[in-house]
């Protein structure tokens, strides 16, 4: 069994062949997926998908790139939707200093507000971090995010940073980049992070693993991520698949 902890099946790229994409995932053993909504339209689509498919779950939040657009009403709406029985986390949330749509101070405030909401709701959080590691870690510490924990999604930092995050009650989630030939940092992270603090994901339709790099990613390819981690850790694929699924179910409170 494989658990893809971060999919965007709510993306328009899947409008034409969603059922075929889901069938391909099931054929390779993907048993659970979390569909991530990060603004009004993607959250609405995520909720509709989890109501249609019993093996899909949702995480809802506000993406840092769009932080400047988030209103008090949006945050209240997320809180209201969080009562849905298939909403298992808040996010993705965090900081993204690569794109300049939202000023850093606004991103940070929106991030803090979502962490506080998650603590109130007792839900884990899914963290998006791009070019902002120092500030992400600082905010997680200042907001006592370890009380709820969560996921460092598509982790791209160092093994040392991974250790810091684990100490704050976060899981390290690896995706397609761990399969890239010259991706030294993700490979070292895969080797050093204990399996009981690791998750796997695709972030589809983005970041497709080798040999599909540059093409549309899909949940079936999470098997390639698990296989690469197994090779790097010199353990069986089954051990990686079973333990990362167990980790995800524990974090999300799924039986």
- The residue ranges of DSSP E strands in the chain, in sequence order, are 2-7, 30-37, 56-60, 87-96, 125-130, 150-152, 170-174, 198-200
Domain boundaries, the chain: 2-213+245-252
d(CA 201, CA 249): 14
CB atoms within 10 A of CB 210: 16
User: Would you give the distance in Å from CA 22 to the centre of its chain?
Assistant: 18
Helix, strand, coil abundance in the chain, percent, nearest 5: 50, 20, 30
Closest by CA to 67, choosing from 122, 112, 26, 30, is 112
Record: fold of 2-213+245-252: TIM Barrel (3.20.20)
In this predicted structure, what is the pLDDT of residue 77? 98
203 annotated ligand-binding residue: yes
In this predicted structure, what is the pLDDT of residue 231? 98
**Parts of the chain with a pLDDT under 70:** none
128 annotated ligand-binding residue: yes
Model-level pTM?
0.97
32 annotated ligand-binding residue: no
210 annotated ligand-binding residue: no
CB atoms within 10 A of CB 17: 13
66 annotated ligand-binding residue: no
In this predicted structure, what is the pLDDT of residue 192? 98
Helices (H), 66-206: 72-81, 104-121, 133-142, 159-167, 184-192
Is beta strand 125-130 parallel, antiparallel or unpaired with respect to 150-152? parallel
d(CA 248, CA 151): 10
d(CA 148, CA 170): 9
d(CA 255, CA 253): 7
Give the tens place of pLDDT for each residue, 66-84: 999 999 999 999 999 999 9
Q: Which residue has the tokens 């657009």?
A: 69
Q: Is 210 helix (H, G, I), strand (E, B) or coil?
A: coil
Give the tens place of pLDDT for each residue, 153-166: 999 999 999 999 99
196 annotated ligand-binding residue: no
Six-digit token pair at 178? 């761990």
């Amino acid at each position: 069994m494989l658990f893809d902890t971060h999919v965007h099946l709510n993306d328009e790229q899947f409008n034409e062949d969603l059922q075929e994409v889901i069938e391909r995932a099931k054929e390779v053993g993907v048993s659970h997926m979390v569909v991530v909504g990060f603004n009004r339209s993607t959250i609405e689509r995520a909720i509709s998908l989890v109501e249609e498919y019993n093996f899909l779950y949702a995480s809802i939040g506000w993406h840092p790139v769009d932080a400047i657009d988030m209103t008090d009403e949006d945050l209240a709406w997320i809180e209201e939707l969080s009562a849905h029985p298939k909403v298992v986390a808040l996010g993705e949330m965090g900081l993204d200093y690569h794109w300049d749509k939202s000023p850093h101070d606004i991103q940070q405030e929106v991030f803090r507000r979502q962490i506080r909401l998650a603590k109130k709701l007792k839900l884990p959080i899914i963290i998006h971090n791009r070019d902002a590691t120092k500030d992400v870690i600082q905010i997680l510490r200042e907001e006592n995010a370890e009380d709820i924990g969560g996921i460092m999604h598509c982790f791209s930092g160092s093994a040392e940073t991974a250790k810091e995050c684990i100490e704050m009650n976060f899981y390290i989630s690896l995706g397609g980049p761990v399969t890239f030939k010259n991706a030294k940092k993700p490979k070292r992270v895969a080797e050093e992070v204990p399996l009981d603090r690791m998750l796997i994901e695709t972030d589809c339709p983005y970041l497709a693993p080798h040999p599909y790099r540059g093409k549309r990613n899909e949940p079936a390819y999470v098997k390639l991520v698990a296989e690469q981690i197994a090779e790097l850790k010199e353990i069986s694929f089954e051990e990686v698949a079973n333990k990362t699924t167990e980790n995800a179910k524990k974090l999300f409170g799924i039986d």
